Amino acid sequence: MIGDAGLPPESVLRYGVQIAGALARAHDRGIVHRDLKTANIVVNTDGLVKVLDFGLAKQVGGGLFEGTTDPLQPSKVHRA
Q: What is the pLDDT of residue 3?
A: 84
Contact in structure between 63 and 70 (CB atoms under 8 Å): no
Return the SS3 of 12.
Answer: helix
Q: What is the pLDDT of residue 11?
A: 92
Please say if 35 is a catalytic residue.
Answer: yes
Q: What is the pLDDT of residue 80?
A: 47
Does residue 51 come out as left (phi exceeding 0), alpha (psi in the -120 to 50 range) or beta?
Answer: beta
| Start-to-end C-alpha separation, the chain | 45
The pTM assigned to this predicted structure is 0.64
Q: What is the pLDDT of residue 79?
A: 47
Domains within the chain, CATH numbers bracketed:
9-59 (1.10.510.10)
Q: Which residues pair with 32 in a beta bridge?
A: 58
Choose, from 35, 46, 53, 70, the residue flagged as catalytic. Answer: 35
pLDDT tens-place string over residues 10-55: 999 999 999 998 888 888 878 887 777 888 888 999 989 888 766 5
The band of 56, judged by pLDDT with boundaries at 50, 70 and 90, is low
